[in-house]
Amino acid sequence: MNGRRPHVTSVTAWPGRGSEFGTMLTSHVAGFLRAALVWLVLGTSLGVAMAIHPVWAVYRTAHFHMLLLGFVTMFIAGVAYHVVPRFTMAALASTRLAMVHLVIANIGLALMVLGFCARVHGWVPASTALAVGGLLSALGAWAFAWNIWVTMGRTVVPPPRPAGARPLPQATR
């Protein structure tokens, strides 16, 4: 140990601390949930700033896209990527596409926020930032829709229980 903290890569290394949660949370799911929380903090911070300084209400389009596209939509995506493969008992159609979605959705939204804010000041590149950001966000949404749709199409239907067979033991938690 040579006097230094052991290198800990995940919370699962700590006994008794949410080990199941830590092992089950895949990187794209954790990425979406973290990104959603960051957008929640940023979006509500801008909301409070607008409430305190009403002139800044000109930034409301940035504010509510941070919250609706950033927090609400990304949290829904993170939860859906986690639960849909479990509900369908099929692997997610493409985890790589889910990672691509994570990256382009966040770059896209950051560009949209920049564009919405800069547009107010008449900066010429604002509409380009908004257009590119909007396209990236839309591509992310389409990738998400395809991934979840295809995963649902692969739903595994368990075989019927033979007559007289005992039910499988239920998980206790």
Minimum Å distance from CB 71 to ligand HEM? 6
Minimum Å distance from CB 56 to ligand HEM? 8
Tell whether residue 26 is a contact of ligand HEM (CB under 6 A).
Answer: no
Tell whether residue 60 is a contact of ligand HEM (CB under 6 A).
Answer: yes
CA distance 86 to 148: 12
Residue type at 158? P
For ligand HEM, the binding residues in 141-170 under the rule CB under 6 A are: 141
Neighbouring residues of 17: CB distance < 8 A, sequence distance ≥ 6: 11
Tell whether residue 34 is a contact of ligand HEM (CB under 6 A).
Answer: no
* Minimal CB distance residue for ligand HEM: 47
Tell whether residue 137 is a contact of ligand HEM (CB under 6 A).
Answer: yes
**Hunting for tokens 């369908």 — which residue is that?**
88
| Longest CA pairwise span in the chain (Å) | 74
CA distance 50 to 66: 14
Beta carbon nearer to ligand HEM, 64 or 123? 64
Minimum Å distance from CB 125 to ligand HEM? 16
Full DSSP string of 90-124:
S--S-HHHHHHHHHHHHHHHHHHHHHHHHHHTT-T
Residue type at 168? L
Neighbouring residues of 106: CB distance < 8 A, sequence distance ≥ 6: 35
Minimum Å distance from CB 61 to ligand HEM? 5
Tell whether residue 72 is a contact of ligand HEM (CB under 6 A).
Answer: yes
Tell whether residue 100 is a contact of ligand HEM (CB under 6 A).
Answer: no
Residues near ligand HEM (CB under 6 A):
44, 47-48, 50-51, 57, 60-61, 63-65, 67-69, 72-73, 134, 137-138, 141
